[in-house]
Amino acid sequence: MTPALPDDVDVRRPPGLGPGEGLPDPDHRRAPWRRVLAVGVTCFAVWLLLDAPSLQRSAEVSPLGTRRTVSLDVLGPLAAVSRGLGVDHVVSVADGLLGRTPGGGPALATPRPGRTVGRVDPPPTVPPAPAHGQRPASPSTTTTTFPPLFADPTAADPLRVLAVGDSIGIDLGQPLVDDLTATGIVHAVLDGRVDTGLARPDYFDWPAELRIDLSNDAPQLVVVMMGANDPQSMLVGGRAVAYGTAAWDAAYAQRVGAFIGEATATGAHVLWVGMPPMENPQLTAEMVHINAIVAAQVAMRPGAAAFLSSWNVLGGPQGTFNAYLPGPGGAEVNVRTPDGTHLTPGGGQVLAQAVIAAIHADFHVALPG
């Protein structure tokens, strides 16, 4: 049996120490977790302030609804403070060093000042698109004759090409600009913005951006590839219009037509490259519908605009999703990234060559290979 200890012996105190000596301070025991909590809260607050503009951009591109509204209400003042203090540049510099590109970020190429191009009459008013899921009928609208594309470019007087688009448009645009520039008779510029499209001008305003590009570079040909981000609700006249409705189709058709008309009003021709098949069946179906609306708008502007389907360029024999396609000499070329949506450099190169062939076929400009 263990002998009982005297009542005045404190088992927590080592032998030889007086009362109160060597005992842990109750306040000392509580201090560490309070300091850790304070440091954690401070770090979170600093991060939130630094990254508030980026978080705000992410909220802006999120689907319309209560969650987006609340997020913007909370992040708006923080982002304003971050920009006002200039601390948001810290994140921008870090993103640049890490190769990250935020949605709606800087253009991938800088346009140059160009010559003034004579204006022509804009296309007629755009009618509503067909009902969702229906193939568009051939338009019967007649348009005025559009001047042909300058067909004899030289090194001294090159063909001026502007490529614009979303992240998939960037996948195409970079190899396209490189290939066109390599001809020696084309001046090509890329303006690509990830996470963008025509559905959400509240997040990134492509028509406004195109006006700047047209003014700066005065392109004779505008190559467009965007649409993968567009199957979502849109704000039309301050009211949310859901994707999958006739109202959405009509509004989107109007935006596509206006975007093309903005370019052709300056005398530029438009080559719109359709979206390819996707690995996700639902996204593939959405791209079929987006492509149909775009193709109908392009068909209303013969001579001024052309539509290039990427379906059979990047898809299988029946237009199905293929990550690999036969290349020169029979070797397979990886054309799609693991996400089943974007293009690999090889896929961008394949599509860029199809675009150059379409420039020849649709606009009668032969470019050296």
Share of the chain above pLDDT 70, in %: 63
Q: Which amino acid is at 352?
A: A
Alpha carbon 175 to chain centroid, angstroms: 17
**Residue 168, domain member (yes or no):** yes
**Between the CA of residue 187 and those of 13, 117, 160, 295, what are the distances in Å?**
84, 16, 5, 27
- Mark whether 277 and 167 lie in a shared domain: yes
Strands 332-334 and 324-326: antiparallel
Q: Which residues are 352's β-sheet partners?
A: none
pTM over 0.75: no
Which pLDDT value is given to residue 32? 77
**Residue 149, domain member (yes or no):** no
Q: What is the CA radius of gyration of the chain?
A: 29
Token pair 């921008």 is found at 92
**Residue 128, domain member (yes or no):** no
Q: What are the tokens at 103?
A: 């949605």
pLDDT, tens digit, for every residue of 131-181?
444 433 333 333 457 888 877 899 999 999 999 999 999 999 999 999 999
- Mark whether 169 and 61 lie in a shared domain: no
**Residue 228, domain member (yes or no):** yes
Higher per-residue confidence, 172 vs 118:
172
Question: Which long-range contacts (C-beta less than 8 Å, at least 24 apart) are formed by 199-204?
Answer: 199/229, 199/230, 199/231, 199/232, 199/233, 199/234, 199/252, 199/255, 200/60, 200/61, 200/229, 200/232, 200/234, 200/235, 202/60, 202/235, 203/57, 203/60, 203/61, 203/103, 203/104, 204/103, 204/104
**Residue 140, domain member (yes or no):** no
- Mark whether 176 and 307 lie in a shared domain: yes
Tell which of 59, 75, 98 closes a domain. 98
Q: Which residues are 306's β-sheet partners?
A: 271
Please provide the average confidence, as pLDDT, over all residues in the chain: 77
Q: Which amino acid is at 226?
A: M
- Mark whether 60 and 172 lie in a shared domain: no
- Mark whether 51 and 167 lie in a shared domain: no
pLDDT at 363 over 80: yes
Phi, psi of 291 (to 5 degrees): -60, -40
Higher per-residue confidence, 6 vs 314:
314
Q: Of the given ranges (97-101, 170-174, 248-252, 344-348), which has the lowest mean pLDDT?
A: 97-101
Domain hosting residue 249, numbered range: 159-363
Q: Based on the structure, what is the number of domains in the chain?
A: 2
Which pLDDT value is given to residue 276? 97
**Residue 54, domain member (yes or no):** yes
Tell which of 50, 69, 98 closes a domain. 98
- Mark whether 86 and 164 lie in a shared domain: no
Higher per-residue confidence, 77 vs 231:
231
**Residue 124, domain member (yes or no):** no
DSSP alpha helix (H) spans, 219-301: 246-264, 281-299
- Mark whether 263 and 174 lie in a shared domain: yes
Distance CA 276, CA 341 (A): 8
Higher per-residue confidence, 129 vs 330:
330
- Mark whether 167 and 242 lie in a shared domain: yes
CB count in 10 Å sphere of residue 293: 23
Burial level of 127, CB count in 10 A (0-12/13-18/19+)? middle
Tell which of 71, 98, 125 closes a domain. 98
- Mark whether 249 and 168 lie in a shared domain: yes
